[in-house]
C-alpha cells in the first residue's frame, strides 16, 4: 500500500514539516531538490524527475534523482507528450501513462509503477513531478488528496522561488547597468548622504566609491562655477524636493550645469540632473543624480563660436577689399591710368581667389564630415612637377620668404589624386609662410624607398607648442597665441591635408618646438612593382 492508516498522522506531520521547509527556501534549484526528495520519501520511489513549464507550454527537466546523466534523454518523448487540460485537473493522462511505462522500462526493468503529480497554482500547471518505484501500490482518495496538497504547496514554493530568481536577476541587471553606465549615477538618502556611487562617477570626480559612500553630497560635488540652474542645497532650500499634487505638471527634477572641482583640484564641466523619489506618504526618500561630463560639448561649442568668428573675419576681409577696389574703380569723378586699374584688378582677382579657396575648404570639410573621404580621380602623379608648381605659385605671395625645392631627380611617381595632393602641399606651404612672420627659408625635401615616398616641408617660423601638437590636425583647431590671433585662417588646412593624405593610405606627421620652426612629413605609398 502507498500509505497505511497507522502512518497517516505521522505522514501529515511530515507533510506539514516539508511544506514549512519549502516556503522558507528561495533558491529554485534547492526548492526542486527538496520537493523531489520529499516526493520520493512519501511515495517510496527510487527514481524521480521534476519538469517545469516554460514558454509555449513546453516542459523542461530541471531536477532528477536516480537518473544517470547519459539516460536523461529517455525523458524527452515523455516531456513532449504532456498535454494540458487545465479545466479538468491540469494535464491529460491517456498518452502520458503509456510514455511513463516506456520510460520506466528504459531506465530500469525493475521499476513497476510510475506516478504523476501535477503542480497546480491558480488552476495553472507550473510543473509535473514524476516518481518511479519498484512495486505497485494502491492509495485511497484521502491519500491522493494529501499528495495533491503537497504538490500544490510545492507549486507555491516553486512560484515564489522563480519570482525571487527573476527579481534577483533584474536587480543584478539594473545594478550592472548603473555600475557600468557611461554617465555618473549618484544615489542619496533624504539627508543627502551618498549610498550609491558608480564607476563612471569615480572617473568623473576622482573620488573612489569607498571614499564617497557615506559622505554628504556637498563634500564630493563641489561647484567652482555654476552657469545654469541651482546647486542641490539651494534647490532644496527653495522647496524643490516637495511632493507635488497629481494635478501639477511640474517634474520632480532639477538641473545644474557648471564647472566642478575634482578631488585632485582640477576642473571638469558637468551637467547634473537631480530626481526626487518619495514614499507613499509623500516623504522624501531618495535623491538620484545623473551626472554627465559635458567637457567635450563645451569644447565643441567654443570651437563652433571660434570657427564662426574666424570665418566671419575671413569672409569680411576679401569681400571688403573687393568692394573697396571695385567702388574706387567705378568713381565717376576720377580717371585712373592703366597701371592703377591693373593693380586694382589684380587685388580683386587675388582676393576672389582667396575667397574661392576658403569656400572650397569649407565645402570639402563639410563633405568629409558627412560622407568621408573618397578619391575619384586616381592616376599617375609626378610629385616633382606638382610641388615645383606649388612652390612657384606661393613664392609670388611673399618677398620675405625663399622657397627651396630639393627633391631627388629620380623621385618616383605615385598613384593618387593630383588635385587633392596639390591641396595638401598648398596648405603646408601656405602655413609655412603664414607662421614665419619674419621670413626665412622654407625647404621642401624628399626621399623614397621601395615602400613609399616622403616629402618634408620645413620652415624657420614660430613653431608649435607641445600642448598644441596633438590637436593641430583637428577640425577648426587653431593654437591660441598672439600670432594665430593676428593670422588669417579657419583651422581647416591641416585637417583637410591629414584627411587627403589618409585617403591615399599615407601618413602626415610634424616635428616642432616653439621658436625653432616646424617640419611636416608626408609619406605616400608606392604602388607595388
pLDDT for position 52:
92
Query: Do 184-243+250-293 and 5-176 have the same topology in CATH?
Result: yes
Q: Do 61 and 75 contact (CB within 8 A), yes or no?
A: yes
pLDDT, mean of each 10-residue run, the chain (529 residues): 48 64 75 87 88 87 88 84 70 74 81 86 86 82 77 86 83 73 85 88 88 89 88 86 55 83 88 88 86 79 66 71 85 83 85 76 64 73 91 80 91 89 88 85 92 93 86 72 50 81 91 88 82
Report the distance separating Cα 336 and Cα 273, nearest Å. 68
Phi/psi of residue 288, nearest 5 degrees: -105, 130
Among residues 493, 489, 499, which one has the least CA distance to residue 307? Answer: 489
Task: Say which residues have a Cβ less than 8 Å from residue 183's Cβ, sequence separation at least 6.
Answer: 200, 290, 291, 292, 293
What is the SS3 assignment for 453-483? EEEEEECCCCCCCCCCHHHCCCCCCCCCCHH
Q: Cell 522624501 maps to which residue? A: 284
pLDDT for position 510:
92
pLDDT for position 7:
47
List the domain boundaries for the chain. 5-176, 184-243+250-293, 302-371, 378-525
Number of H helices, E strands in the chain: 15, 19
The CATH architecture one would assign to domain 378-525 is 2-Layer Sandwich (3.30)
One CATH from 3.20.20.70, 3.40.50.1980, 3.30.450.40, 1.25.40.10 for 5-176: 3.30.450.40
Report the distance separating Cα 514 and Cα 223, nearest Å. 36
**Which uninterrupted H or E stretch holds 451?**
none
What is the SS3 assignment for 26-95? CCHHHHHHHHHHHHHHHHCCCEEEEEEECHHHCEEEEEEECCCHHHHHHHHHHHHCCEEECCCCEEECCC
Report the distance separating Cα 307 and Cα 455, nearest Å. 30
pLDDT for position 529:
45
Report the distance separating Cα 143 and Cα 85, nearest Å. 23
Report the distance separating Cα 492 and Cα 358, nearest Å. 9
pLDDT for position 303:
65
Q: Cell 607641445 maps to which residue? A: 466
Strands 507-512 and 518-525: antiparallel
Q: Cell 500547471 maps to which residue? A: 125
pLDDT for position 244:
54
- Whether pTM exceeds 0.75: no
Chain length of the chain: 529
Cell of 509: 606627421
Q: Which CATH superfamily hosts domain 184-243+250-293?
A: PAS domain (3.30.450.20)
302-371 has which fold? Helix Hairpins (1.10.287)
Amino acid at each position: 500500500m502507498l500509505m497505511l492508516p497507522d502512518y497517516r498522522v505521522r505522514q501529515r506531520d511530515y507533510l506539514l514539516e516539508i511544506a514549512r521547509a519549502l516556503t522558507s527556501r528561495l533558491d529554485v534549484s534547492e526548492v526542486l531538490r527538496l520537493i523531489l526528495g520529499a516526493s520520493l520519501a512519501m511515495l517510496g520511489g527510487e527514481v524521480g524527475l521534476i519538469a517545469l513549464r516554460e514558454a509555449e507550454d513546453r516542459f523542461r527537466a530541471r531536477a532528477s534523482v536516480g537518473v544517470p546523466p547519459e539516460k536523461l534523454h529517455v525523458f524527452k518523448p515523455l516531456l513532449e507528450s504532456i498535454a494540458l487540460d487545465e479545466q479538468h485537473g491540469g494535464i491529460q493522462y491517456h498518452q502520458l501513462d503509456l510514455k511513463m511505462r516506456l520510460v520506466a522500462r528504459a531506465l530500469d526493468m525493475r521499476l513497476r509503477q510510475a506516478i504523476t503529480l501535477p503542480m497546480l497554482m491558480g488552476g495553472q500547471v507550473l510543473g509535473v513531478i514524476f516518481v518511479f518505484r519498484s512495486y505497485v501500490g494502491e492509495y485511497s482518495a484521502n491519500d491522493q488528496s494529501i499528495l495533491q496538497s503537497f504538490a500544490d504547496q510545492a507549486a507555491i514554493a516553486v512560484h515564489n522561488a522563480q519570482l525571487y530568481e527573476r527579481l534577483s536577476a533584474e536587480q543584478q541587471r539594473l545594478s550592472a547597468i548603473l555600475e557600468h553606465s557611461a554617465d555618473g549615477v549618484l544615489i542619496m538618502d533624504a539627508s543627502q548622504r551618498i549610498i550609491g556611487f558608480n564607476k563612471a562617477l569615480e572617473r568623473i570626480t576622482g573620488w573612489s566609491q569607498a571614499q564617497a559612500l557615506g559622505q554628504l553630497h556637498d563634500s564630493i560635488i563641489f561647484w567652482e562655477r555654476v552657469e545654469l540652474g541651482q546647486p542641490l542645497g539651494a534647490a532644496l532650500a527653495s522647496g524643490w524636493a516637495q511632493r507635488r499634487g497629481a494635478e501639477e505638471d511640474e517634474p520632480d527634477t532639477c538641473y545644474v550645469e557648471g564647472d566642478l572641482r575634482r578631488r585632485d583640484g582640477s576642473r571638469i564641466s558637468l551637467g547634473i540632473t537631480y530626481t526626487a523619489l518619495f514614499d507613499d506618504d509623500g516623504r522624501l526618500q531618495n535623491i538620484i543624480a545623473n551626472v554627465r561630463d559635458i567637457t567635450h560639448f563645451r569644447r565643441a561649442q567654443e570651437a563652433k563660436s571660434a570657427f564662426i568668428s574666424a570665418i566671419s573675419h575671413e569672409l569680411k576681409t576679401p569681400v571688403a577689399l573687393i568692394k573697396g577696389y571695385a567702388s574706387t574703380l567705378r568713381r565717376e569723378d576720377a580717371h585712373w591710368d592703366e597701371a592703377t586699374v591693373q593693380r586694382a584688378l589684380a587685388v580683386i582677382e587675388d582676393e576672389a581667389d582667396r575667397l574661392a579657396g576658403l569656400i572650397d575648404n569649407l565645402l570639402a570639410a563639410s563633405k568629409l564630415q558627412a560622407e568621408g573621404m573618397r578619391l575619384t580621380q586616381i592616376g599617375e602623379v609626378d610629385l616633382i612637377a606638382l610641388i615645383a608648381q606649388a612652390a612657384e605659385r606661393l613664392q609670388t605671395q611673399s618677398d620675405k620668404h625663399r622657397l627651396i625645392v630639393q627633391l631627388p631627380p629620380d623621385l618616383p611617381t605615385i598613384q593618387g589624386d593630383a588635385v587633392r595632393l596639390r591641396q595638401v602641399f598648398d596648405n603646408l606651404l601656405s602655413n609655412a609662410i603664414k607662421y614665419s612672420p619674419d621670413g626665412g627659408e622654407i625647404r621642401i625635401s624628399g626621399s623614397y624607398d621601395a615602400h613609399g615616398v616622403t616629402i618634408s616641408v620645413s620652415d624657420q617660423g614660430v613653431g608649435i607648442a607641445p600642448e598644441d601638437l596633438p590637436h593641430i590636425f583637428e577640425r577648426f583647431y587653431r593654437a591660441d597665441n598672439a600670432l594665430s590671433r593676428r593670422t588669417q585662417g579657419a583651422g581647416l588646412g591641416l585637417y583637410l591635408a591629414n584627411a587627403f593624405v589618409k585617403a591615399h593610405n599615407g601618413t602626415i606627421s610634424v616635428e616642432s618646438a616653439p621658436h625653432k620652426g616646424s617640419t611636416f612629413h608626408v609619406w605616400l605609398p608606392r604602388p607595388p612593382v
